Amino acid sequence: MKTESLDTNVLLRVAIESEDDQTARARALLARQDRLFSVSPVVVAEFVYVLMSHYGRSRAQAADVTRRVLGLESIVCSRDVILAALAAFESHPKLSFEDCLIAEQAGATDAVPLWTFDTKLAKQHPVARLVA
């Protein structure tokens, strides 16, 4: 089965309660049994950002919605890395989801340490180290 890709706005339509035409079309697309959809980590990062900045979701709410959407059978993604990033995001309120995702990807690929100038990241994530 061929894998297709999804943009952030389609995922948002699936996740947000709305009764408009785009929401119906997005949900119908993802409900099809004959398709798989790739969701890149960049799309997930934008998804979390929009949930919080535009829809006013808390960190925990954004993480819960993201887990629910990524749990759909038709979604293909770096699930382990993204779920680990969501856990780090929830337990480190000073870190952005993007930083958590970058750090978890570094750890998952054993490309560590993750060198950074971000002192918050270096203090809060075990794979991050400050460039001296």
Closest residue by Cα to residue 44 from 13, 16, 61, 67? 67
How high is the pLDDT of residue 63? 98
Task: Say what the pTM is.
Answer: 0.93
Q: Which has the closest alpha carbon to 44: 66, 72, 75?
A: 66
- Residue carrying the six token digits 């709305």: 18
The pLDDT tens digits for 18-33 are 889 999 999 999 998 8
Q: What is the CATH number of domain 3-130?
A: 3.40.50
Q: What percent of the chain has pLDDT over 90?
A: 92
- Domain extents in the chain: 3-130
C-alpha dist (Å) from residue 88 to 17, 101, 103: 27, 9, 9
